[in-house]
Structure 1
Amino acid sequence: MLNLSEKSLLITGGTGSLGKALTSHILKNSPEIKRLVIFSRDEQKQFQMAQEYPADQYPQLRFFIGDVRDKERLIRAMNGIDYVIHAAAMKHVPIAEYNPDECIKTNIGGAQNVVDACLQTNVERVVALSTDKACAPINLYGATKLTSDKLFVAANNIKGSKEIRFSVVRYGNVMGSNGSVIPFFLNKKKEGKLPITDVNMTRFNISLDGGVEMVMHALEHAWGGEIFIPKILSYRITDVATAIGPNCEQVVVGIRPGEKVHEEMITPSDSFYTYDLGKYYTILPATHTWKLNDFKARFNAKLVEPGFAYNSGDNTEWETVESLRNLIKEHVDSSFVL
């Protein structure tokens, strides 16, 4: 496990679902951390989060108001920071479609600001959060996150003599995260109808704990430039609706702007750079600052077959209605009953 003793770590978007889960994990497993900085722009969420972590019990926790659009603020926040986890983003697909310039400013401009701020300070390791929608994107959100991925991967080429590593983690829908389908269905259940975009729709599924574990894995093991992808299960949107509201009517409302029927995380074009690490896949950069043979030997990495793709609709591992119910109770709502 990564030793955070006497280290300082900053999380952009730290008041979001994953940011809060990371905070809980780090404080529980690495209470000796020197400083954990929550960087976000929402003062109300910071105030609420601070109530959960009183200063007298968690003196290592700091709250820093700021926006990733503001590079100077990022530079100040990263003073004395060793590790950065970049989780801040605009992520709602329809909102991004309607407000493209705002999405670009945060997801692309903000990503470049994080890169620049890390390079101008003494940060050692950076992990940026991506999304399955960044793979062969058809919506603006996915396109901005693909661009963000490229910025973080390429940052390794301009670090010069600095001992810093930039990497990316890409995964599917985080179960129970803010704005995701399961909390939405749980709230709509009382109306007796659940809106289904397309009866064939599938998604990858990962728990908050799984997302946290993957970020910490990348923070500890990345050599620089990797895009890590977990081997996870898929679910059918109709099974999610049945799991939550078995007696509810499922009303087909049509696909939203910029939405896919199935999500991808690795395309056939990526296969020439994709390696199987056992628990994860990783897409390696076309150019890297370390020796490929050393990487393969260290992680027992095996190149996937040419044309390999990883798609939620073609996945071989699936959640069932029953497994979804158990996961909802465990990870989303402990009071969930049918």
Structure 2
Amino acid sequence: MLNNKLVLITGGTGSLGKALTHHIFKTYPGVKKLIIFSRDEQKQFQMAQEFPVTKYPQIRFFLGDVRDQERLVRAFNGVDVIIHAAAMKHVHLAEYNPDECIKTNIGGAQNVIHAALQTGVQNVVALSTDKACAPINLYGATKLTSDKLFVAANNIKGTNPIKFSIVRYGNVMGSNGSVIPFFIDKKKEGKLPITDATMTRFNISLQGGVDMVMHAIENAWGGEVFIPKIPSYKITDVAKAIAPECAIDIIGIRPGEKIHEEMITSSDSYNTYDLGKYYTILPSVPHFNLTEYKKHFNAVPVEQGFNYNSGTNTEWEDVESLRKLIKEHVDSTFEI
């Protein structure tokens, strides 16, 4: 699929960017070039030590910001596939710095779209978040806007064969800034801060996120929002899994935070289909033949009013399964 292709990852020095890089080099050794596009020179320097050009001759590091459309056009020249992972993602920081979040998450998305349309890119997959579904915080609102921009980009491409699609998932286990490494670090203090004892979240591994991106690259017809079928966890079970001996300090919900997350609202249900491993939300007016799409993927419409919520999910991680997942995906030295 990616052999003999030029691939670019925006925000490529992040947790998912690194996981994608590992996966692409392992699975597609014939990839022509893999470009890591990001704005942090120190992270690029560090990632270059992890992926030295002597071992990975196809890798390139390209400094730039998604806010700079001209730089994106330069970077996208000759690229076949773009994975757009660059974003400002911390909810509380976005609440405090709204202009910066809007410039990166909305303006950056628009710039990626325009640059891709100008440079002959074939396929763009943008990363979304559960917080884009029925958003109550600025981060979620900017990511919902970004999703809408990428879906609508399929309407303005004209005869250009490019496809734009989105993957939306929950908390990535062990990613930078996520709760599990935070709790592991706090464990030594003997107390874990929890915002609300009833809080739940969806859970997906880094590899699960990578697999979704690969699925979208291979299968998207353009305009889909792909959503995985994944388990939820209770935040209190995460605390028990990591540090059962620690006291719990209930600190209250932070600005813009939800008790439970959604990935499909009841309003989305009218355009949502079950693909087996994934759900997909299709555009209300798809640019392709819907009957052919449903036949090709054996897509089954969900019930009207269906919603996908971490608090009412039918699949759950418990304390023991979380411990095993932490050891497997986050910290191999973690004692079960």
TM-score band, normalised by the shorter chain? over 0.9
- Report the equivalent of 2:281: 283
From 173, 178, 188, give the equivalent of 2:171.
Answer: 173
The DSSP-based 3-state class of the residue aligned with 1:157 is coil
In the alignment, does 2:308 pair up with 1:310? yes
- Counterparts of 1:24-103 in structure 2, within 5 Å, are 24-103=22-101
Q: Does the residue aligned with 2:267 lie in a helix, a strand or coil?
A: helix
Where do 5+ consecutive residues of structure 1 fail to align? none
User: Alignment partner for residue 109 of structure 1, among 107, 110, 118?
Assistant: 107
Aligned residue in 2 for 1:8? 6
Q: CA RMSD in A?
A: 0.5
Aligned counterparts of 1:148 and 1:121: Cα–Cα separation in 2: 20
What are the superposed Cα offsets for residues 236-281 of structure 1, whole Å, 9 maximum, x if unpaired? 0000000000000011000000000000000000000000000000
Partners of 2:141 and 2:59 in 1: how far apart?
Answer: 34
SS at structure 2 position matched to 1:216 = helix
Aligned AA (1:307)? G
TM norm structure 2: 0.99
State yes or no: 1:207 paired with 2:205. yes
Equivalent residue, structure 1, for 2:232: 234
Q: TM-score, normalised by structure 1?
A: 0.99
Q: CA deviation at 1:287?
A: 1.4
State the secondary structure of the residue aligned to 2:201: strand
Aligned counterpart, 2:268: 270
- 1:251 partner SS: strand
1:330 is matched with: 328
Cα distance in 2 between the residues matched to 1:284 and 1:180: 29
Corresponding residue for 2:255? 257
Instruction: Give the AA of the match of 1:277.
Output: L
Letter in 2 for 1:147: T
Q: Distance in 2 between matches of 1:79 and 1:297?
A: 36
Counterparts of residues 111-260 of structure 1 (less than 5 Å): 111-260=109-258
SS in 2 for 1:103: helix
Instruction: For residue 184 of structure 1, give the secondary structure of its aligned residue in structure 2.
Output: helix
| Identity level (%) | 76
Deviation at 1:337, TM superposition (A): 1.3
Letter in 2 for 1:59: P
Letter in 1 for 2:117: L
1:224 partner amino acid? G
Q: Take 1:135 and 1:28, find their aligned partners in 2: how far apart are those partners? A: 33
